[in-house]
Amino acid sequence: MPASEETGSGPVVHDHRRIDPVTGQVRGKHAASKPAGTRGAGRPGRGSPGPDAAGPAEDQPEDKHEERDAAEAAQQTEESPEEAPEMVTGQVIKDGKQAAGIEAQLAERTADLQRLQAEYANYRKRVDRDRAAVRDQAAAATLTGLLPVLDAIDQAREHGELSGGFKSVADSLQAALGRLGLVAYGEKGDPFDPKIHEALMHSYSSDVTEDTCVEILQSGYKVGDRILRPARVAVAEPATGPDGSSNEPERPASEEGN
């Protein structure tokens, strides 16, 4: 607020306001001590009476100094060292939040891509496995349909009827089926395995120590680990057990008399 004091020539009002109410500009640091109604550094304004009033020519240089001081004061206010750290800190915080948001989005997109890549890899494996299964099933179905032809060839060979051009055709057919993975199995003397053998006949023998295929009635065929048809065999069981007791069942008296 302006302050007044009594002097011999009348009251003198000192204006301590930093902003000039007339021009709206920031006053210089020496403007607070100027009396009201003056311009410059304590000089009376235009039209203001006073013994120290100077002519218009002397006011112009002083006005230029005042404007320069006001501009410097305004610049100092805008670029105050107290406000600068706050602005820098706010900008750093804002940039940090933006960087954190970008990193979170990048991590999310990376996780999505990795999940999609894993799902695609599993899909490829599943498709390849299904294709292989379909191919194996088709091959197994085709080979199963040719098993009666192979049985006829084996019977002709056993009876000595496989000769001439028919023998060449039979050998070529068996070789081609072998390249497709078809394997015949079942030999006399093989241990009996119910997983791959089908017992059509059963007997007891003292010449074997375990269940044994003593005769191959029909060969078995497989492709890889897949059994197309089990071997049909005659099985002989040991006549005596490990403790020397007989494994043969006792015959009824009526059968012994016959």
pLDDT at 87 over 70: no
C-alpha to C-alpha distance for 215 and 149, rounded to whole angstroms: 21
Percent of the chain with pLDDT over 70: 62
Q: Which residue has the higher pLDDT, 158 or 82?
A: 158
Mean pLDDT of all residues in 55-82:
56
Task: Determine the pLDDT at residue 116.
Answer: 93
Long-range contacts of 146-149 (CB under 8 A, 24+ apart): 146/173, 146/177, 147/221, 147/228, 147/229, 149/173
For residue 213, give the nearest of 233, 183, 230, 227 by alpha carbon: 233
* Predicted confidence (pLDDT) per residue in 15-35, tens digit: 777 777 777 777 765 544 454
Domains, the chain, ordered by start: 3-78 (no CATH), 181-248 (2.30.22.10)
pLDDT at 166 over 80: yes
Helices (H), the chain: 56-78, 83-158, 164-179, 253-257
pLDDT at 171 over 60: yes
Task: Determine the pLDDT at residue 146.
Answer: 92
pLDDT at 46 over 70: no
Task: Determine the pLDDT at residue 36.
Answer: 47
Task: Determine the pLDDT at residue 239.
Answer: 78
Task: Determine the pLDDT at residue 58.
Answer: 43
C-alpha to C-alpha distance for 197 and 233, rounded to whole angstroms: 7
For residue 64, give the nearest of 17, 37, 28 by alpha carbon: 28
Least confident of 21-30, 67-76, 181-190, 232-241: 67-76
Mean pLDDT of all residues in 93-101:
77
C-alpha to C-alpha distance for 218 and 144, rounded to whole angstroms: 14
pLDDT at 215 over 80: yes
Task: Determine the pLDDT at residue 165.
Answer: 85
